[in-house]
Structure 1
Amino acid sequence: MTRLVRAGALALVLATAAVPAAYAQAAPAADTLFRATTLNLSAHGETRIAPDMATITLGVQIEAPTAQGAMRANAEQMNAVIAALKKAGIAERDIQTSNLSLNPQYVYQENQPPKLSGYQASNQVSVRVNDLKDLGKAVDATVGAGANRVNGISFGLKDSTAAENAAREQAVKALAAKADLYAKAAGYHVARLVSLSEAGGYSPPSPMPMLAMARMEKADATPVAAGELSVGIDVSAVYELAK
């Protein structure tokens, strides 16, 4: 029994002694990491490009004494609007219903309970226009066919890859220039790029309100200015510096 106890105690001593040795082997790597001089930076790259497509949201809003009458009248007028869009060159796949609603309408008088006056039916579609030359024509056609709600327009890109890559190149060049500047100011030079990460990218802008309907109906043709889109990329990096 005594021999077993002594053997167990010896094993415990050896195991305890082995722990510092394991930590000693890992220490140099950690120590090297802490002794390295690093620089954490971020930069932004941006390019501007003309859009090549647009999305408009438009629709029909009708009021009638009954719910059934409001929905029926709305459907008839909306069918005419969709037919006008197709005639203007918009493909059926580029027309999508985005909102359909039916709401009761009330008249409010002081000290009186609300009185039902009728129903309001609303039908709204999102229309993708792939040729901007057809944009004004499409809007005019829908207004002529009975659309009385044009809620907004947004311009976009069918393929944003080239614009994003141009912004990436600008961002990385700006990042490298900034790293060289900081390193030189601190009395170092950039030894290597340790890590690089990206954030941001192209996202279609939110729809912008268009001209009032009454003003659009009086115009000979609806003017639409596409302008330019801004595509931005943010990058961050860690550089190792050396003397």
Structure 2
Amino acid sequence: MRSVIPLMLMALTAGAATAAETAPVSGTLLTVVAEGRVARAPDLVEISGGVVSDAPTAAAAMAANAKAMTAVVAAVRKAGIAGADVQTQGLSLQPQYRYEQNRPPELIGYQASNSVAVKVRRIADTGRLLDTLVAVGANRIDGPNFRIEDADGALDTARAEAVARARARAQLYARAAGLTIRRIVAISESGAMTPPRPMMMARMAAAEAVSTPVAPGEVALSVNVTVEFELQ
């Protein structure tokens, strides 16, 4: 019998805790939406380099493109970029037509395009790498897109800031109404986001003598939270 009593007491205690957690709201409800923001220097930049090739036949366009892209990929690897940080992202072959009024479209050739996405972890090398890609035959460059690799860690800081702002705002409302905060009823996150950065897109014909300048600046991350307070 002695072994049963502690189990019964534990069950009663657990039931009481559950009842306390799900206790109905008896005071005034206040919902506050707040934003937390954090800015960090980026530690990763994404670019892409590719080649667009035109030729009279599909086979010739693909062959010319393959030769040029082989040089582009080799230059990326020679620059010290790990294989895991290089990925083909677009390969296409399209017929090219001439359109004239009152005449059917005339096939004039084919255009092949291919590009690779590259993650550059030494941001200071970005400008030099872009120039190298153009020098070996790349005529399409997209980027740079600056990122924080450990975005979750930075977002956690923004989350804590958002909740602190929500509580401070709730305390302001509570004082103005002659009330106090009893507890937080619910917290929800409406989304974590990185503001989009403009992408540099260009078709390049020749490399400049001076290395392309790249300024990383800072990457801003933000989180919005909705916090429901019970006032008394």
Same fold (TM over 0.5): yes
How many Å apart are 1:163 and its aligned residue?
A: 1.3
* Number of the residue aligned with 1:118: 109
* Number of the residue aligned with 2:93: 102
Secondary structure at the residue paired with 2:68? helix
Cα contact 2:97–2:105 (8 A) shared by 1? yes
- Matched to 2:50, the amino acid is G
* Structure 1 portions without partners, runs of 5+: 1-31
Higher mean displacement: 230-239 or 195-204: 195-204
Aligned partners of 1:86, 1:145: CA distance in 2, in Å?
13
Aligned partners of 2:223, 2:62: CA distance in 1, in Å?
46
2:223 counterpart (223, 233, 240): 233
Residues 176-197 of structure 1, C-alpha deviations (whole Å, 9 max, x = no match):
1100011111121111112222
Where in structure 2 are the equivalents of 1:42-191 lying within 5 Å?
42-191=33-182
Q: TM-score, normalised by structure 2?
A: 0.84
Secondary structure at the residue paired with 1:218? coil
Aligned partners of 1:173, 1:47: CA distance in 2, in Å?
14
Cα contact 2:25–2:230 (8 A) shared by 1? no
Residues 116-170 of structure 1, C-alpha deviations (whole Å, 9 max, x = no match):
1110000011111111122112111111110000123211111123311221221
Cα contact 1:56–1:207 (8 A) shared by 2? no
- Matched to 2:49, the amino acid is L
Aligned partners of 1:195, 1:109: CA distance in 2, in Å?
65
Q: Report the count of equivalent residues.
A: 211
The yes-or-no answer on 1:218 pairing with 2:215 is no
Larger-gyration structure (1/2): 1
**Percentage identity across aligned positions?**
47
How many Å apart are 1:46 and its aligned residue?
A: 0.3
Q: Comparing both structures, which one devotes a greater share of its residues to helix? A: 1
Residues 193-220 of structure 1, C-alpha deviations (whole Å, 9 max, x = no match):
1222223225584661246625x72341
CA pair 207-87 structure 1, distance change in 2 beyond 3 A: farther
Cα contact 1:156–1:205 (8 A) shared by 2? no
How many Å apart are 1:65 and its aligned residue?
A: 0.5
Cα contact 2:92–2:114 (8 A) shared by 1? yes
Cα contact 2:88–2:116 (8 A) shared by 1? yes
* Number of the residue aligned with 1:40: 31
Aligned partners of 1:161, 1:111: CA distance in 2, in Å?
59
Secondary structure at the residue paired with 1:60? strand
* Structure 2 portions without partners, runs of 5+: 1-22
Q: TM-score, normalised by structure 1?
A: 0.81
- Matched to 2:91, the amino acid is L
CA RMSD of aligned residues (A): 2.0
How many Å apart are 1:222 and its aligned residue?
A: 0.7
Cα contact 1:89–1:134 (8 A) shared by 2? no
